[in-house]
Structure 1
Amino acid sequence: MTADEQQAMAGHQDYWRDLLAAGRVVVYGPVADPEGVWGLGVLRAADRAEVLEIGRRDPSVLAGVNTFEVFEIMGGTTG
Structure 2
Amino acid sequence: MEQHKRSIAKAISWRATGTLDTILISWLVTGSATAAVSIGVFELVTKTFLYYGHERVWNRISFGKAKPEAEYHI
TM-score (norm 1): 0.37
Larger helix percent: 2
* TM-score, with length taken from structure 2: 0.39
Higher gyration radius (CA): 2
